[in-house]
Chain A
Amino acid sequence: MALPAVLRAQLAALVGERWIKDDPVSLFTYRSDGLTLHEAEPAAIVFPGTTAELSAAVKILAGAGIPFLPRGAGTGLSGGAVPAPGAVLLEMARFREISDVDAVSRTVMVGPGVVNDQLSRHVRSLGLHFVPDPSSQKACTIGGNVGENSGGPHTLKYGVTVNHILGLEVVLPDGEVVELGGRTWDTPGPDLTGLFVGSEGTFGIATRICCRLSPLPEKAITLLAVFDSAEDACRGVSGIIARGIVPAALELMDRVVIGAVEQAYHLGFPPRAGAVLIAEIEGLTEGLDEEAAQVEDILRAQRARETRRARSDEERLLIWKARKQAFGAIGRLAPSYYTQDGVIPRSRLPEVLAKIYAIARRYELTVGNVFHAGDGNLHPLLLYDPRRAEQVQAVLAAGHEILEACLAVGGALSGEHGIGLEKSSMMGSLFNGEDLEAMKRVRAVFNPTEILNPGKIFPSPGKCADAPFIRAKSGIVA
């Protein structure tokens, strides 16, 4: 659905012709985020350069009744940045300023287009960093992290994005510019910053973000523990927490993922290992070896076949590279994969993991697991070939069942990827009508006409629980 010519001219006059794109290649490129099962081309992509430009663009679009939505790097995994029919994408990549670094207050102001990893590199010389480190941190933006409340491997000890965001400048869907929170760690009144983070681009568009910085760990010890089964590795996780130790990260990779990672990075994992647990202990140099030894003892007592420590920074970084690029390595095993993001009480990991394997077997799918075990945040990767329609349907059905298994043990639909389009039809399984109505009333305060990013998070009226099958129209099928 093309943008009306008059409107296009108005937007081009505002941001400049080069910052509006609606050629077929651009529209095709921006048709999905990282979850390629959902796709729809926008009417146009606009790249505002300032808050004033964004506010004016929003006023033009809202005035014409054209829906719009923000987009960062498009690494999201729940279809949150997929446009509704006729919607315009507001790409925030030009908001790249980093300013006002305050090493004593440990705060910094950034534009939403700043890449996550770039922020940490910027403040590294001060001994500080921005803690949330999603696997996509080399590409994803802070604005996207705010929208989705992104996590990452190190959230076990330090929390997710919301725990590191203090204030926001936001353009509301009517073009008004408001400030939420501030440069202080708390501000009076309802925590609107905390409410906004994770609202998946349905409340407003952040244009400046005050981030909290944390001291860089002086030393980190990365341990690898090899187990015969993923269930044993999960028990190892519980064993560590039960002893009152909270490592910075506790990540698990199962046999399928180890195979893919080994092919890609040659870490020398035992070929028949059932699972590998990565445990990272960090902090002051003094006392850290002692704590690492304690963790090794616990893991061995929990049937770890072998434990080893990264002997150098290079080796440590290689382990993390393997972990963070494990999703990519899976590409060696199948043309595509579908990942889920359910989160459960960590003590239920062995039981739910067994269920996941059983579900995959029933649908005759291969499943690999690489996930934030310390948080109980699962990422089963269901491998499939998008050219085979029956496999596409099978992964969607299996994904649905996996989430139901998470809910059955008191879990939640998403730990860090968000609800977006993908899981909106399941919100009714977790929340009743009153809960959802209260959430909608909150959205109405920010986005009363739903012109900003419509169709996300909430189940569509009249759609039954199998909506994902309808939505995933498998446009990717050749």
Chain B
Amino acid sequence: MPENADQAAELLRVRLAEGRPVVLRGAGTRAPEESGEVLSSLKLNRLRFLDPEDMVAGAEAGMTMAAFQHVLREKGMHLPVGPWYPEATLGGAIAANDAGPERLFAGGLRDYLIGIEFVNGAGHKVKAGGKVVKNVTGYDLGRMLIGSRGGLGLITAANFKVLPLPVRPRAVLVRADDATLRTGLFKMLETRVQGDWVQVLFRAGRRELGIGLSGNAARQERVIKDIAAAFSSGIEIVEEETLPAGSPGSGRHSGFLSALLLGEAPPALHIHGVFPTSLLLTPALWETLGMGDPLSVLQPCGGDLHFFSKDTGVEEQERALARLRAALPEREGYLVLERAAAELRWRHHPAIPAPRAFALMRALKKSLDPRGIFRGSFYEAPAL
């Protein structure tokens, strides 16, 4: 557990000399690498700067998303990218490319990351980007590390553009049958309803849609009217701070998956899907998402779904994966095994299918980490 970036770089140089690869880890909320000494970023947890007037903030990568959001909140700001787990670190969220229910309206990490510091595979500290909100000075190595899954470098600090907190945030909850929700969502997207976030939950035989909104009274009244026009009934409006635990949108600043799982440990199987939104509103997919246990989550925002299952059996997990693959057009998107039985992860690449630019990603890994100091199963060819 290095305490600063220089220590981390030094430690990596020692491991390089010894020829001992390391596993990079933040809070460990995702599928762990199979073996190797863990290099944890958890002690790199200091805020570096927060300038609300410039709408920028930077922190070390081991700071948790929840802690970062907390300090921002105290200054009336926030990073509109909801973390999945309260313990998720900034570096981990970047490496896994986390996105919360705000993705449609507010963007994702790629829209807010403005500067990065990391240690590369040669044990050298490298920086790119900076502290300004707009910057094309050199290559954007920060965005390169988004989704890099710990294989390209140890992220030691990150700078973000941040936004003022939403004014009087509220949520509209809609409870209805599948057909009504699907039609309503389609209409809502087509008529470009302007909310803050959107999330659909699938629990045993029950569906619940949440849409966030904020702003002055006149604006809110209008957004609610637009939502009501898309969904004929079943609408309830609540203040965001009084959102019942387990509702759509709950925990979006501090870890929404934990809030939705209501105290349960993360299920054994977590499949994350990214597909164009228009392909996520089909009866076949909704029927499959309804089989999630204890739940499934759909964020119809650039197309994001999360299927969970408590089943630990490899074949049960394989069947769940096959059902999802059958309900989705494979060429149009990807399924990612965020958590799964080890055997399932050996059988498949973590992304299904492997990314079309996989050869380039592997070349990038080889160029930035020529001696393979960072364990990275994501960059290994899938077992056949």
Contact = CB atoms under 8 A, between A and B. Distances in A.
Interface stretch (A49-57, A239-247, A319-327, A354-362): A239-247
A71 interface: no
Contacts, number: 270
Interface in A424-459: 427, 430-431, 434-439, 441-446, 457
Interface string B290-333: 00000000000111100000000000000000000000000011
Interface in A84-109: 102-107
Interface residues of B, number: 87
Contact of B368 (A183, A287, A290, A441): A441
A238 B53 contact: yes
B53 to A, nearest CB: 5
B222 A285 contact: yes
Contacts of B146: 190-191, 194
A198 B139 CA distance: 7
Given A178-B360, A188-B147, A194-B144, A105 B355 contact: no
B229 interface: no
A190 B147 contact: yes
A469 B279 CA distance: 55
Contact of A194 (B132, B143, B222, B359): B143
Interface in B4-45: none
A287 B138 contact: no
A457 B139 CA distance: 9
Interface stretch (A11-19, A112-120, A157-165): A157-165
B145 interface: yes
Contact of A372 (B130, B134, B278, B378): B134
A186 B81 CA distance: 13
Interface in A282-313: 283-288, 290-291
A286 B222 contact: yes
B135 A347 contact: no
A414 interface: yes
B363 A445 contact: yes
A206 interface: no
B283 interface: no
B158 interface: no
A434 B141 CA distance: 13
A475 interface: no
A345 B56 contact: yes
Given A185-B103, A287-B218, A191 B143 contact: yes
B136 interface: yes
Interface in A320-372: 343-347, 372
A376 B133 contact: yes
A189 B361 contact: yes
Contacts of A194: 110, 140, 143-144, 146
A127 interface: yes
A287 B219 contact: yes
Interface in B131-168: 131-141, 143-149, 152, 163-165, 167
A199 interface: yes
B132 A376 contact: yes
B380 interface: no
A104 B364 contact: no
A189 B355 contact: yes
B358 interface: yes
Interface in B191-226: 192, 194, 215-223
B274 A155 contact: no
A273 B149 CA distance: 54
Contact of B219 (A104, A284, A346): A284
Given A105-B303, A287-B219, A163 B110 contact: yes
A442 B127 contact: no
Contacts of A127: 192
B122 to A, nearest CB: 8
Contacts of A377: 134
Contacts of B145: 190
B52 interface: yes
A435 B367 contact: no
Most buried by B among A106, A166, A418: A106
B107 A187 contact: no
Given A190-B152, A194-B144, A195-B143, A244 B274 contact: no
Nearest to B349: A188
Interface in B328-370: 332-334, 336, 350-351, 355-361, 363-364, 367-368
A287 B223 CA distance: 11
B130 A162 contact: no
Interface of B: 51-56, 76, 97, 99, 103, 107-108, 110-111, 120, 124-128, 130-141, 143-149, 152, 163-165, 167, 186, 189-190, 192, 194, 215-223, 274-279, 281, 301-304, 332-334, 336, 350-351, 355-361, 363-364, 367-368, 378
The 10 closest A-B pairs by CB, nearest first: A185-B302, A194-B143, A287-B219, A244-B164, A188-B351, A286-B222, A215-B192, A287-B218, A105-B276, A104-B278
Given A347-B53, A434-B124, 4 more contacts: A183-B276, A188-B147, A431-B128, A438-B368
